[in-house]
Structure 1
Amino acid sequence: MRRFLDKLYLVSGALAAIFTVGVLVAVTMSIVTRQLGVHIGGLNAYAGYSMAAAGFLALAHTFKSGEHIRVTLILSSLPAKGRMRLDLCALVIACIIAGNLCWFSFKLVLDSYAYNDISTSDDATPLWIPQISMAVGTLIFFIAILDETIRRYKGIPETIQSEEAHYE
């Protein structure tokens, strides 16, 4: 199971990187076609869809890599037992927030599909299609936080090193 989850986070990060390249391609094409006097409808919209996909799909990989911003001032001043309790409490709260975000992301996709919502841009893309990346990204993020919460509850230390260790 551990290998599957680690692979899931890695694949999610790789997809985020691919969508980041998609932003670059869409913006570059937009610039080049504008200079050539050619109009390709929806390039700006697809750059936005790719940017959103990259952001949401990167959440889990970034979290598991220890790259999310954390305020460690209070944690570092507590004894080990207090640090573990506060960290566990923060992870449980993060699970609740990420779970809600995941739930409402999937609800948004289903609602957009049910109401046939389409983009108001030139591309007229059904909105549920680009919204899938948000829903999947938040689901994988929720799984990553739940995974870390369970690991900490079992007493398994953080899988990544703290921010301070990166700079020492």
Structure 2
Amino acid sequence: MLSRAVIRISEICSGAGIAVSAALLVYIVVHIILEIILRNFFASSTNSMGEYVGYATGAMAFLAMGHTFMSRKHVRVSLLRRFLRGRAAIAVELFCVATTFAMFAFMARYIWLILVRDFLRGSVSPGLTATPTWYIAAAIFAGLVIFLIQLVASALDTVIHGVPEEHIEGE
């Protein structure tokens, strides 16, 4: 009941994160093409390409983490895992998930503090466009929260169904 709800919420959040990441990728490509056209044919520039493409790349990476983990497409070292079965495999998986959760929760806490500080101070980027810096922190924080929800769902799924078998592409 509760586990199914958490897993469903994680799927929805991860799907939203990957959808926004895909849209950001399209934005990045369009902005770079626009910048190339402006510079080569009109001797002009948006004067914001480097800044905004950088922000979008950071946001895209963090927002995609939950979906990447859910799809089991993340970099995973499973050398020890190949030798374990049953409860030992579950224990190692839960330890890894809990450790990852702790590290990313720590990071999310500090990103949250940066977000609040920048919002309250009205901080803006030093670039020409003076973008509010809390926008960037908010995107990163959202990606971290999605990833943390996905970790909880993964832990619940591991407890209920065990550790899924590794499927290595190309084998």
Aligned residue among 27, 49, 58 for 1:52: 58
The answer to whether residue 129 in structure 2 is matched with residue 120 in structure 1 is: no
Q: Which residue of 2 aligns with 1:9?
A: 14
* Preserved CA contact (<8 Å) 1:30 1:44: no
The answer to whether residue 140 in structure 2 is matched with residue 162 in structure 1 is: no
* Preserved CA contact (<8 Å) 2:124 2:133: yes
The answer to whether residue 114 in structure 2 is matched with residue 111 in structure 1 is: no
**Letter paired with 1:17:** A
How far is 1:71 from its partner?
0.7
Q: Which residue of 1 aligns with 2:100?
A: 94
Q: 1:85/1:3 Cα in 2 relative to 1: closer, same or farther (>3 Å)?
A: closer
Mind listing any 5+ residue stretches in structure 1 that lack a counterpart?
none
- Cα distance in 1 for partners of 2:58, 2:144 equals 12
Give 3-state SS (helix, strand or coil) of 2:10's partner: helix
**How many pairs does the alignment contain?**
165
Q: Percent identity?
A: 21
Alignment of 1:32-43 (within 5 A): 32-35=37-40, 36-43=42-49
- Cα distance in 1 for partners of 2:83, 2:8 equals 34
> Larger RCO: Structure 1 or Structure 2 (Cα < 8 Å, ≥ 6 residues apart)?
2
How far is 1:158 from its partner?
4.5
- Cα distance in 2 for partners of 1:11, 1:129 equals 17
Q: Which residue of 2 aligns with 1:143?
A: 149
**Letter paired with 1:60:** G
How far is 1:101 from its partner?
1.6
- Cα distance in 2 for partners of 1:120, 1:26 equals 20
Residues 132-141 or 101-110, more deviating: 101-110
**Letter paired with 2:31:** A
- Cα distance in 2 for partners of 1:27, 1:48 equals 11
The answer to whether residue 23 in structure 2 is matched with residue 18 in structure 1 is: yes
Over aligned residues, Cα RMSD in angstroms?
A: 1.6
